[in-house]
């Protein structure tokens, strides 16, 4: 289910949460974490809805992905695992970087996640 991300449509997006089994929260690399992003993310957390954060618009000029990652850690959650490394040099390239140690650290810090992981 696709819901608008603009603050004017926050009520509609919030109402849709009750029927979700999981969510993909899209964050613009250009705009970063906004007020409505924080509200929706905290609602997803409160409702225990598994959430993947997807960062789009990474190919625009002046994008600093490390700054975007830090903003997500500071404003949303430090329990974040970057799944791909993106190089925006003359040719765009993506590298999978599944950091199993990071997964283990995050999962073992939460009894609920540990139960889901083992199941």
Question: What pLDDT shows up at residue 118?
Answer: 60
Question: What pLDDT shows up at residue 70?
Answer: 93
Question: What pLDDT shows up at residue 109?
Answer: 63
Residue 60 CB neighbour total at 10 angstroms: 11
Question: What pLDDT shows up at residue 100?
Answer: 62
Question: What pLDDT shows up at residue 98?
Answer: 62
Question: What pLDDT shows up at residue 29?
Answer: 92
Instruction: Look at the domain 7-118 and name its fold.
Output: Rossmann fold (3.40.50)
Question: What pLDDT shows up at residue 60?
Answer: 84
Residue 31 CB neighbour total at 10 angstroms: 11
Give the 3-state secondary structure of 80-119: CCCCEEEECCCCCEEEECCCHHHHHHHHHCCHHHHHHHHC
Task: Tell me the pTM.
Answer: 0.68
Question: What pLDDT shows up at residue 117?
Answer: 55
Q: What is the mean pLDDT of each run of 10 residues along the chain (119 residues)?
A: 60 76 90 89 89 88 88 89 71 58 64 62
Question: What pLDDT shows up at residue 67?
Answer: 92
Domain limits, the chain: 7-118
Question: What pLDDT shows up at residue 108?
Answer: 64
């Amino acid at each position: 289910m696709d819901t608008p991300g603009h603050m004017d449509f926050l009520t509609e997006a919030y109402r849709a949460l009750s029927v979700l089994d999981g969510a993909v929260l899209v964050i613009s690399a250009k705009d970063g974490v906004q007020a409505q992003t924080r509200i929706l993310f905290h609602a997803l957390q409160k409702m225990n809805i598994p959430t993947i954060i997807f960062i789009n618009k990474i190919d625009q000029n002046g994008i600093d992905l490390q700054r975007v990652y830090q903003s997500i850690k500071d404003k949303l959650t430090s329990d974040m695992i970057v799944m791909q490394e993106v190089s925006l040099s003359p040719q765009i390239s993506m590298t999978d970087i599944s950091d199993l140690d990071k997964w283990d650290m995050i999962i073992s810090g939460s009894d609920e996640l540990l139960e889901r992981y083992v199941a």
